[in-house]
Amino acid sequence: MQVIAAAPPVTMVQRLAVARSAVVAALLLVAAASLAWLFLATPIVTSLIPEGRPSDAQVIFSVLVWTAILIAPAGLLLVGVTRLVAAIEAAVALRPRTMSPTLRDALADDVLAATDLHLPGGRRVHELLLGGFGIVVVGVVPPPSISRAVGSRWEVRDQRGRWIPIESPTDRAARDAERVRGWLAADDRDFVVKVYAVVVSGDPRVERTPSCAVVRPEDFAAWVSGLTPQRGLTASRRERVEQMVREIAADGTTR
């Protein structure tokens, strides 16, 4: 099986933002280590602590010194680690995303998979499969830790902790499949490619709809193999569709 991992559009501003965040994180970590060494391995702290019976002002000063010793390095370390994690996450987001091993291992050798495709008009398709059955658009389910289903409505929590409404996974997959149909129809061809929508998940919150199937990961291979082969999708026609997929996978790499 071939997997086309489409590289997301990356601007110089995004690269600079990741680099700047990484540099700031490194400086914070170096500052935390330097302060810890300065406070613990040098006599600077003991020299600031008064000897004998200190006055009230000296006691307050000593408390402030020890507070700085305890808080400053730890605070810089915490902020530095947070910025470093954010920089790593941002860098990972700029890389092409490959198909999950669970889905990849379930597919036959004659199936072409593409990830993170951006259709004309800006619609992003999570995963797309091309085989003798036509095309399958695979939807994604947000992790339960950052999402919730309120009746038929879905919401995700942003970085500020606010809940933002989104399309349900099945509605999103069905809409993506419809966009794929429209994109294929725009090409001057004498045949129609069947397009299916499916969400592969064991999440009980996801329920199938008339326009989108819901399949557990362990049943996905059987579901795909059970799709009816499309007689009109000959080898030459399938090659044409594959070429179209590769064309919109800007800088895509076969893996």
145-163: pLDDT as tens digits: 888 887 778 998 877 788 8
Give the tens place of pLDDT for each residue, 21-61: 888 889 888 988 887 787 777 766 566 565 666 666 666 76
Buried b (16+ CB within 10 A) or exposed e, 202-236: ebeebeeeeebbbbeeeebbebbeebeebeebeee
Strand 134-139, strand 195-200: pairing? parallel
Give me the pLDDT at residue 94, please.
Answer: 53
Give me the pLDDT at residue 215, please.
Answer: 92
Give me the pLDDT at residue 189, please.
Answer: 65
Judged by phi (left if over 0) then psi (alpha if -120 to 50, else beta), residue 52 lies in left
Give the tens place of pLDDT for each residue, 69-109: 777 778 888 888 888 888 787 766 555 555 555 566 657 67
The token duo for 229 is: 């082969």
* C-beta separation of 125 from 119 below 8 A: yes
Average pLDDT over residues 6-15: 60
Give me the pLDDT at residue 252, please.
Answer: 43
Give me the pLDDT at residue 54, please.
Answer: 61
pLDDT(218) > 60: yes
Contacts of 140 (CB under 8 A, 6+ apart): 126, 127, 169, 172, 199
Q: Which of 51-55, 64-68, 168-172 has the highest mean pLDDT?
A: 168-172
Bigger pLDDT: 54 or 187?
Answer: 187
Give me the pLDDT at residue 170, please.
Answer: 93
CA distance 194 to 174: 13
* C-beta separation of 200 from 215 below 8 A: yes
Stretch (H or E) spanning 108: none
Name the residue ranges covered by the structural domains of the chain: 12-93, 97-254
Q: Which pairs from 190-196 meet CB under 8 Å and 24+ separation?
A: 191/232, 191/233, 191/237, 192/232, 193/134, 193/135, 193/230, 193/233, 193/241, 194/133, 194/134, 194/135, 194/230, 194/233, 195/134, 195/135, 195/136, 195/137, 196/133, 196/134, 196/135, 196/136, 196/137, 196/227
Three-state secondary-structure class, residue 118:
strand
pLDDT(232) > 90: no
Give me the pLDDT at residue 28, please.
Answer: 87
pLDDT(253) > 50: no
In angstroms, what CA-CA distances link 44 with 41, 54, 55, 65, 73? 9, 18, 20, 11, 15
Bigger pLDDT: 76 or 14?
Answer: 76
pLDDT(222) > 80: yes
Give the tens place of pLDDT for each residue, 115-146: 888 888 778 888 889 988 999 999 888 888 88
